[in-house]
Chains A and B, each alone.
Chain A
Amino acid sequence: MHYFLTEEQQMIVDICRQIVEERIKPQRAEMDENCIFPAEIIKEIGKSDLFRLFVPEQYGGMGTGIFEVCLATEELSRGDLSVATTYAASGLGFIPIILLGSEEQKKKYLPQLASGEKLAAFGLTEPEAGSDVGAIRTKAVKDGDFYILNGTKQWITNGGEADIYTVFTMTDPSKGARGASAFIVEKGTKGFDFGKKENKLGIRASATRELIFTDCRVPKENLIAGEGMGFIAAMRTFDQSRPAVGAQAVGVAQAALEEAINYSKVRKQFGASISSLQAIQHMLADMATQIEAARTLVYHAAKVIDSGEKNVSRLSAMSKLFASDVAMKVTTDAVQIFGGYGFMKEYPVEKMMRDAKITQIYEGTNQVQRNIIALDLIKRGVL
């Protein structure tokens, strides 16, 4: 397939493909089985300039856009969704700084995030709050030149591994979501600890941990865009980041399709390869068609964001919703084509199916994506 990539975009894909083939594929099964965080692979990704894709040129980035981020994320996801999640979650952690951070915050944090020297994380979810930002219980109370943070964040990707955390707190609970504020908190700050590591169904090599704040004093300079701007920061970040979740879904689906095609050609039943059976052929055709439709939607959403268009929530949500549903279906069908072997850990498709599930859940469940799409349709009309 030809996607009319520029020479630079093709270079991004080639670099990721080399990382997938040489570094990720030989290790992914063991990383998954033993929940091993891919620290060395992430270093390699940093050295290859892939974190720079998120960041403007003046802060050490490549000055590229969400489309390039999606290309990289998709390719890395073809290798392993844990690695791609770690990569994309770091980006998620520093997008609020890019979008709404002060010049000082950008100068201080973005260059070291762009180089991959430091990893970031996005701390929004709590036991009682995810998409419902107004239900956040972590509090930030102003005390002179500091804010004092208290509370617990849950299921934070890159928790414990990241150096820089964007943490969403409540500075004025009486205002609900409009009373939320975002802070940059550095690992090692007194009163900032990590809780248990989660044992997950999929993306088992990625780090998912609690962030615990106990009278944690954060300098007031680390507040992003002023008190009460937390909700806006979170929503605008998701508008930018959701196509990358779509790209993760496309990547893992593509990997499952490739495995299914290869297996169907070598697996013989009734004296012939199962790829000669129309039942299998039609499954493969449907899988490929769905992936292509998902990819097209993800690329389109990314390009619209990069064009500077303001109202991108609907398209961004659509790309995440559609691509993740496709990933779940395609990876499940890949397991079906493998039959009993697909159910065994000796083959990679069962892991892809386990991994794919999270793309329907994180950065807003697919039910929440439908809410966003419907609200936008009602508010702004079809066009």
Chain B
Amino acid sequence: MVDIKIIVCIKQVPGTTEIKINPETNTLVREGIETVINPFDTYAIEEGVRLKEKLAPLLSQTGEEIETIALTMGPPQSGEMLKEAIALGIDKAVLLSDRAFAGADTWATALTLAEAIKKFDDWKLIILGKQTLDGDTGQVGPELAQKLNIPFIGYASSILDINKNRMTIKRLMEDRYETFEIRLPAAISVGKDINIPRVPSLRGKLKAKNEAIPVWDKNYLNLDQSQIGLEGSYTQVIKISMPEHHYEVKMLEGSPDHQVDELYGKLKELNIV
């Protein structure tokens, strides 16, 4: 019997700057693109693993156990990312995957994640990266907390104290630090100032290799098509287009002295110097 569960929500994002867009759905093309764990989510994984390492010896004194679970919603290939999370020390992982989930906005995503989290007992803390590199909204964390009716603290920079019922957490705002004491269960989002993610371990990688990742679909979560995917989304990306940049390049020629004079003249003309 596991007494405390920490759930880390992660997302697979394109590991390349060559973003491709499906012209019909106006969503990102994810198939066939090299993918990585969303960089901010790597800090969420590390914080989950560190909390377990810190709390496990204390809990074992009273015969209690703690477990970390990685959760993602995405195409079947996201299973590989979940294995990476296991190699980094996460205990187990669940993949939410169904064609019906495709095209979800942050609202439908948060709803799907919330329904999945309700399937677990005794979860105390949800950790998310503060935003994703592709969507960049930072909305899923707060929306998820609202759907689960739990407190949410965004941009956490350190967990000062935690026990089974409460945690004290610090975050850095533009001009100040804020410290909160919140009751658990709760959700937090983290950025890169909270820790330095570890390198995977050999035993972790070997465990991950043999790990079967359970896949939960819409039927398992008892979700209606109208609540999820594109249909369940309040927002839809109508069009994504790349900004057009206009550059004018002029190569300066002649002796270095002449080039410097000409460059200085140009910069002066543009009121830069």
The finding on whether chains A and B are genuine partners in a shared complex, rather than unrelated, reads yes
Which residues of A line the B interface, CB within 8 A? 7-8, 11-12, 15, 18-19, 22-23, 44, 47-50, 52-53, 62
Q: Which residue of B lies closest to A68 (CB)?
A: B202
Please tell me the number of chain B residues within 8 Å of chain A, measured between CB atoms.
10
B contact patch SS: helix
> Per a CB cutoff under 8 Å, which of A11, A22, A47, A53 touches B205?
A11
A18 to B199, Cβ gap below 8 A? yes
- Kindly report which residue of chain B lies nearest to residue A49, judged by CB atoms: B202
Flag if A11 contacts B206 (CB, 8 Å). yes
In the assembled complex, which residues on chain A have CB atoms less than 8 Å from the CB atom of B206? 8, 11
**B185-242 contacts to A (CB < 8 Å):** 198-206, 209
Are A12 and B202 within 8 A (Cβ)? yes
In the assembly, what is the distance between CA of A22 and CA of B196, in Å?
Answer: 11
Count of A-B contacts with CB under 8 A?
Answer: 37
Q: What separation, in Å, do the CA atoms of A48 and B198 have in the docked complex?
A: 8
A177 to B: closest C-beta gap in Å: 38
For the complex formed, measure the closest distance between the CB of A79 and the CB atoms of chain B, giving whole angstroms.
12
Which of chain B's residues have a CB closer than 8 A to the CB of A47?
198-199, 201
Q: Is the CB of A44 within 8 A of B202?
A: no
Q: Give min CB distance, A50 to chain B, whole Å.
A: 7
Let me know if A11 and B199 touch, CB within 8 A: no
**Chain B positions near chain A (C-beta within 8 angstroms):** 198-206, 209
Q: Chain B's nearest CB lies how many Å from the CB of A62?
A: 6
What residues of A have a CB within 8 angstroms of the CB of B202 in the complex?
8, 11-12, 15, 48-50, 52-53, 62
Q: How far is the CB of A278 from chain B (nearest CB, A)?
A: 32
> Chain B residue with minimal CB distance to A22?
B199
Within the complex, the shortest CB–CB distance from B209 to chain A, in Å, comes to 7
Whether the Cβ atoms of B209 and A48 lie closer than 8 Å is no
**Separation of A156 and B206 alpha carbons in the complex (Å):** 35
**Closest chain A CB from B256 CB (angstroms):** 17
Give every chain B residue within 8 A of A52 (Cβ-Cβ). 202-203
B203 touches A15 (CB 8 A): no
Q: State the CA gap A15–B204 with chains docked (Å).
A: 11
What residues on B are CB-neighbors of A50 within 8 Å?
202
How far does the alpha carbon of A49 sit from the alpha carbon of B204 in the complex, in Å? Answer: 9
Measured between C-beta atoms, what is the minimum distance from B57 to chain A in Å? 14
What A residues does B204 contact at CB under 8 A? 49
**Smallest CB gap from A19: residue in B:** B199
**By the criterion CB–CB under 8 Å, are B203 and A49 in contact?**
yes
Give which listed residue, A8, A15, A23, contacts B201 with CB less than 8 A.
Answer: A15
Task: Name the B residues within 8 Å of A7 (CB-CB).
Answer: 209
A22 to B39, CA, bound (A): 14
